[in-house]
Amino acid sequence: MPTPPAPSVLYPDVATHGSLAAALRDTADGRLDAVPVSSPDGTPLMHATVGTTLPHRESLWVSALPYERKWSIRGTESFQHLALVDGDTDNLAEVVEAARAWHDGASLDEIRRAAPFVHLTGRFEVPDRDPARLTESEWQHLRREADELEDPWRGPQLLLAETAYAEPALRALYPFRSHWVLRFATDTRPSLIVVGPSLFAHNDGTFGVGRSFMDSDLGRFATAHEAVAEAVRHLPSGLGPVALGG
């Protein structure tokens, strides 16, 4: 991979201000004056954080891309540290709009309307950390993530996610994914007590069920429905409601 250009080359205007935080404030023309905005000492031209008034949100993370003139944002919730919003733009004024809305406690949809480049991850906010709602939020994220894939991956991944979600025994568990292997837990992040088999789509269009990661030792099936049914058969009995991880 080629060496990226110096930040001052891609972002000469930011370099003039001395930091991305200062450039954001200048672009905001006073709208961020009362908002906590800072850049780290080590990479002041490349990163900034924008504070928030909501305790269940973390500060919005703003980063400058190293190979092209563009900025990305990532806004996470404070319990599991998972992204609620992300996105990138070549317009720093749009970043200001997103940052101000994030700070002020605007809803996720309102942030999207204020700054159309913002991408909603599908997760929704759960200020009271209710584990059932956190579970539903993660299901919504995984289904949207699969739906946003490019073909040919979108079809099998979305089918697997939707089929698993339609099964009450799996929908009641906390879902998570690693390398597009769908797994389940009896509690939320950050601990994730894994239970039951894993589900995944093979390159040939079949669906695997395994006791471990990427292992089809429990079977390889022509349809997602068959794979999900096999996974349910191998769930332990007596599983209760999802607990709060920690």
| pLDDT tens digits, one per residue of 26-82 | 999 999 999 999 999 999 999 999 999 999 999 999 999 999 999 999 999 999 999
Residue 122, judged by CB atoms within 10 A of its CB (0-12, 13-18, 19+), counts as buried
Instruction: Assess whether 175 and 205 both reside in one domain.
Output: yes
Tell me, what amino acid is at 13? D
Residue 58: count other Cβ atoms within 10 Å of its Cβ: 20
pLDDT over threshold 80, residue 154: yes
Report the predicted TM-score, pTM, of the whole model to 2 decimal places.
Answer: 0.95
Domain count, the chain: 2
Residue range(s) defining the domain that contains residue 35: 7-120
Q: Which of residues 93, 120, 147 is at a domain's end?
A: 120
Q: Coil, strand, or helix at residue 201?
A: strand
Instruction: Assess whether 159 and 100 both reside in one domain.
Output: no
Instruction: Assess whether 52 and 80 both reside in one domain.
Output: yes
Q: Which of residues 100, 120, 140 is at a domain's end?
A: 120
Instruction: Assess whether 58 and 142 both reside in one domain.
Output: no
Instruction: Assess whether 49 and 141 both reside in one domain.
Output: no
Beta partners for residue 199, in sequence order: 182, 209
